[in-house]
Structure 1
Amino acid sequence: MEEAMSPECVSNTDVPDAKPVSETDAFPFGKSKSQRKERGKPVATTIQTATEFFSHKYKMDYPNRGKAIIINNKKFNPNTGLNERNGTDQDASALCCRLSELDFDVDLFHNLKAEEIKVTLQKAAELDHRDNDCFTCAILSHGEDGFIWGIDRMIPINDLMEPFKGNKCLSLAGKPKIFFIQACRGTKFDDGVDMNVADAKGFMDVEPQFSLQKIPSEADFLIAYSVVPGYYSWRNSTNGSWFVQALSEVLMKHGQTVDLLTMMTRVNQIVANKFQSNTSHSDMNEKKQIPCVTSMLTKEVYFTSK
């Protein structure tokens, strides 16, 4: 279907002293019927000073670090045909420890149905987060690209994040919403590539009165996937998944000193360089993996000590 075009015969220069007009490539000219009606606009309950708003770092000195939800799905209903995820309990335990060390209030749930996952996260979004720095969720399960498995059926990952958007969860507006997803995103294997490695030894000076500022409702999310789209995600039945092993290691060493995106880059490095599949199935042996981080963060995240 062709995109609707804005008129080309009229430009701002055709009218003296005209102001630039913002348009979108959507019909009709950026507004749907529902958008044409005047509607009340939600106002975030997160109030920041101008210095905090324009800072390059998120404000992380609220009274509480925030809520962390861990959903650990190990055993699945027989009709799904899915195998038991041995090793996932080690992942859940490691994440519980690391997030608790970072002062999160951690809730751990085991073997939830799809609707139970949705309800659990909806309830978390409805909490009052005004005194919290941020929100974190880790989901450990089977998956496909764009979907995560409850123990009974799949559910779109976007549906689980929807309640936390800035226009829905007002007390988290302008605050980091962090999701860790340990799950497959397809059925391809990463064969890797051989490498020859040489051996080597203030925008504002004055504090004004608070004024209302707009931010995108989709902003301030970070979604860290264990693998890129289309590929299998590897898990050791004894030690846990490669991704969570690496994430736990990095959080333990650098959780309170290094910003989150830098930590996730180090997680990528560990998974890429340290791990390789070892299995009796020749078509699954010596495979590699690389995590994938999608960031809509607008500032740096530091889990500074409380």
Structure 2
Amino acid sequence: MEEAMCIESPQNQDVADAKPVSETDSFPFGSGKSETHSPKPVATTIQTTSEFYSHVYKMNYPNRGKAIIINNKTFDRNTGLNERRGTDLDSSALNCRLSELDFDVDLHHDLKAEEIKNILKKAADLDHKDNDCFVCAILSHGEDGFVWGKDKKIPINDLMEPFKGNKCVSLAGKPKIFFIQACRGTKFDEGVDMNVGDVKGFMDVEPQFSLQKIPSEADFLIAYSVVPGYYSWRNTISGSWFVQALSEVLMKHAQNLDLLTMMTRVNQIVANKFQSNTSNPNMNEKKQIPCVTSMLTKEVYFKSK
């Protein structure tokens, strides 16, 4: 049954970013085997006391930072994964939006699992001391806790691990933002009917900075295209619901809203604007809601430099 559910036709329709499987493994962020202890790294991010305790991240370093987009469209035959038609519109939209926000964007297509891990490991090894933050967008098939390289799946936690504060010290205390467009299971959101009426419109001294300890897991934001357990929808002509909504919100509001508020706007667009339109009646008229996991400790603004 699942095999039939994931077959795409050449017409303009909505499809799900998942391998046709009935069971998925779970590997949430922060789980996994315990780490061996290594010498504590010396922090290279220097902040004044007022910056450290501010409610807003410092975003006036010389550079906005590195952004990496992984766009996987085709997959090895033995994976059983369909081509992700429409994803090139997503990668192009994100490339434009992030470039407009002054990020140094690297766009990669159709990478194997080890290639993805190596690219992100190299990015984490860079010196980010002059950067505001880091962004990574992964567009691929997925399961809960995993995304797919073109050859095999990867635990999402493995991709984020090198950026933790105790590993990438030049990003310690700075935002690490991940956008993940991929399925997280095989359930469909049937939605719920609502009766909607006819409504129109819808004095601080700065002492010498002292050493402060912060959680190594802090300052991450992971924006998933869908909640755990569910399919994530992508239109074969116009791109995925989540990334297109994200692109729209960044274009309109990046100069005046903080990131979490913008992600709430993205949730609203995906929830209210989209509904699946497919020739398979079992997949038709389904809904979707993104899911944002935030370990941010401050507000993120992308105002022009």
Shared fold (TM-score greater than 0.5)? yes
The answer for the alignment partner of 1:3 in structure 2 is: none
299 and 237 in structure 1: CA distance in 2 versus 1, 3 angstrom threshold: same
- What is the root-mean-square deviation of aligned Cα atoms in Å? 1.4
**Given that residues 70 and 107 in structure 1 are in contact (C-alpha distance below 8 angstroms), is that contact kept between their aligned partners in structure 2?**
yes
The answer for the alignment partner of 2:6 in structure 1 is: none
TM-score (normalised: structure 2): 0.87
The answer for the alignment partner of 1:84 in structure 2 is: 83
> What is the CA–CA distance in structure 1 between the aligned matches of 2:39 and 2:110, rounded to whole Å?
40
Q: Tell me which amino acid in the other structure corresponds to 1:234.
A: W
> What is the CA–CA distance in structure 2 between the aligned matches of 1:126 and 1:40, rounded to whole Å?
17
Moved segments of 4+, more than 4 Å: none
CA offset at residue 200 of structure 1?
1.4
**Given that residues 102 and 256 in structure 1 are in contact (C-alpha distance below 8 angstroms), is that contact kept between their aligned partners in structure 2?**
no
**SS in structure 2 at match of 1:69:** strand
> What is the CA–CA distance in structure 2 between the aligned matches of 1:206 and 1:61, rounded to whole Å?
20
TM-score (normalised: structure 1): 0.86
> What is the CA–CA distance in structure 2 between the aligned matches of 1:96 and 1:280, rounded to whole Å?
31
The answer for the alignment partner of 1:244 in structure 2 is: 243
- Number of residue equivalences: 270
**SS in structure 1 at match of 2:68:** strand
The answer for the alignment partner of 1:110 in structure 2 is: 109
> What is the CA–CA distance in structure 1 between the aligned matches of 2:294 and 2:68, rounded to whole Å?
19
- Ranges in structure 2 where 5+ consecutive residues have no aligned partner: 1-33
CA offset at residue 41 of structure 1?
2.2
**SS in structure 1 at match of 2:180:** strand
> What is the correspondence of 1:51-66 to structure 2 with a 5 Å cutoff?
51-66=50-65
**SS in structure 1 at match of 2:186:** strand
> What is the CA–CA distance in structure 2 between the aligned matches of 1:112 and 1:224, rounded to whole Å?
21
Identity %: 84
> What is the CA–CA distance in structure 2 between the aligned matches of 1:135 and 1:151, rounded to whole Å?
24
CA offset at residue 299 of structure 1?
0.1
> What is the correspondence of 1:59-208 to structure 2 with a 5 Å cutoff?
59-201=58-200, 205-208=204-207
Q: Tell me which amino acid in the other structure corresponds to 2:184.
A: R
**SS in structure 1 at match of 2:246:** helix
**SS in structure 2 at match of 1:243:** helix
The answer for the alignment partner of 2:299 in structure 1 is: 300
CA offset at residue 205 of structure 1?
2.2
CA offset at residue 254 of structure 1?
0.4
CA offset at residue 210 of structure 1?
1.2
> What is the CA–CA distance in structure 2 between the aligned matches of 1:123 and 1:42, rounded to whole Å?
18
**SS in structure 1 at match of 2:57:** coil
Q: Tell me which amino acid in the other structure corresponds to 2:45.
A: T
Q: 1:170-218 CA deviation, whole Å, 9 max, x = no partner?
A: 00000000000000000000000000001113xx821111100000000
> What is the CA–CA distance in structure 2 between the aligned matches of 1:198 and 1:43, rounded to whole Å?
58
**SS in structure 1 at match of 2:262:** helix
**SS in structure 2 at match of 1:290:** coil
CA offset at residue 148 of structure 1?
0.3
The answer for the alignment partner of 1:50 in structure 2 is: 49
The answer for the alignment partner of 2:31 in structure 1 is: none
> What is the CA–CA distance in structure 1 between the aligned matches of 2:304 and 2:241, rounded to whole Å?
27
**Given that residues 186 and 229 in structure 1 are in contact (C-alpha distance below 8 angstroms), is that contact kept between their aligned partners in structure 2?**
yes
> What is the CA–CA distance in structure 2 between the aligned matches of 1:50 and 1:216, rounded to whole Å?
17
**Given that residues 272 and 288 in structure 1 are in contact (C-alpha distance below 8 angstroms), is that contact kept between their aligned partners in structure 2?**
yes
CA offset at residue 256 of structure 1?
1.7
